Structure 1
Amino acid sequence: MKMLTNASLAVLIGASLLSSSYAMAQGGQSTIGPKEGDQEFALSGTGSSDKDFDSSSFGISGDYGWYLSDRTLAGIRQSINFADVEGEDLSDDFWNGSTRGFVDYHFGQGAARPFVGASIGGIYGDGVNDTGIAGLETGLKYYLLATTFIQARAEYQFLFDSSDSAEDNFDDGAWAYTFGMGLNF
């Protein structure tokens, strides 16, 4: 495990040096990150767990969004997940997907950009009831180059059929987490 930690540290140090070098090459002015009107695409590996981390699935998530300001990103997110449930019957394998709109607010102006946000949409597929889904999220984008970043995000999602069930189901939500990369253009 120590080797993984050292490798991760080396990547972050290298990214910091690369970002600093880029900023210096631009005359000392930081041009890292998006501007109002820019678009963003990100591709991430994703996973989800129930609130006690007893049941999990894994998949892929794609985000496409527009910067309404230098800090506010609004967009659409598509996730597709596969779960292999332990059991004697092979039909216990299933897929599900979710499509949701999101809004994130980013902090900072350097290479590291923490963010908070919210999403709302729908979930569908095998092993889930087709229903509404909403959640809060937080994460961090780290710009390796002026327009290219890696990101980690955690979302607390809850399912609902109506506004009454949304309030009731908040305590029975699930965690979804992603790690990936993206670019602004």
Structure 2
Amino acid sequence: MNTIKKFSLVLFTSAALIPVYSQAQGMQSHSMGPHQGDREFSLSGTGTSSKDFDNSSFGVSADVGWYLSDRTVAGVRQSISYADIEGEDISDDFWNGSTRGYIDYHFGSNAARPFVGASLGGIYGDGVKDTGTAGLEAGLKYYVLDSTYILARAEYQFLFDSGSSANDNFDDGAWAYVFGIGFNY
């Protein structure tokens, strides 16, 4: 079984187990969504492949956060990505990682909760220069159970080596998109 298939199996198995745990926790919950002092965990993924599956990439992101209020969460996000690229002059595998702190503000109190936020951290790996990264993000959490949600997030990330290069590199950023599942506990 190749690496991509193994990783996909682990990712989907983990995602399938989270709602089971969350449903058990939701039975003890007092209302939908988080409250000050609650924590959250989410697991998100992203990926692409060419039509022949000879050029593929995938990534996973795990978030652990703490609710500072019913609407504000601060936490740590770890992302890992893998790319298998084949071409005339190259045939290589690349692993990259990113560790970032984040803070998000959520709107509303219904099942659909849009949010905006920011992140700051670093990226490292085979296919990138080890450097700092900062970004703005927006997304939506949709609660399917009292403490379980599906998540869609878009981040605009830019790289920097120093404070002055952060300002210069903002226009040269990149978008990152993820879709996942999470729960409050």
Task: Give the TM-score, by structure 2 length.
Answer: 0.77
Show CA shifts across 1:47-77 (max 9, x none).
59xxxxxxx9421000000000000000000
- 2:13 is matched with none
Identity of aligned residues (%): 75
Paired letter, 1:105? Y
- 2:100 is matched with 100
Question: In the alignment, is residue 158 of structure 1 matched against residue 126 of structure 2?
Answer: no
Structure 2 gap ranges (5+): 1-29, 49-55
- 1:72 is matched with 72
Q: Which runs of 4+ in 1 moved over 4 A?
A: none
Q: Secondary structure at the match of 2:166?
A: helix
Q: In 2 relative to 1, CA 47–121 (structure 1 residues): closer, same or farther, beyond 3 Å?
A: farther
8 A contact 1:106–1:113 mirrored in 2:
yes
Structure 1 gap ranges (5+): 1-29, 49-55
Paired letter, 1:63? D
- 2:81 is matched with 81
Q: Secondary structure at the match of 2:37?
A: coil
Shift of 1:79: 0.3
Shift of 1:89: 5.0
Show CA shifts across 1:113-136 (max 9, x none).
000000000000001000000000
Shift of 1:83: 1.5
- 2:144 is matched with 144
Q: Secondary structure at the match of 2:145?
A: coil
Shift of 1:92: 2.7
Between the aligned partners of 2:112 and 2:80, the Cα distance in structure 1 is: 28
Task: Give the TM-score, by structure 1 length.
Answer: 0.77
Q: Secondary structure at the match of 2:150?
A: strand
8 A contact 1:47–1:176 mirrored in 2:
no
- 2:170 is matched with 170
8 A contact 2:84–2:91 mirrored in 1:
no
Q: Secondary structure at the match of 2:158?
A: strand
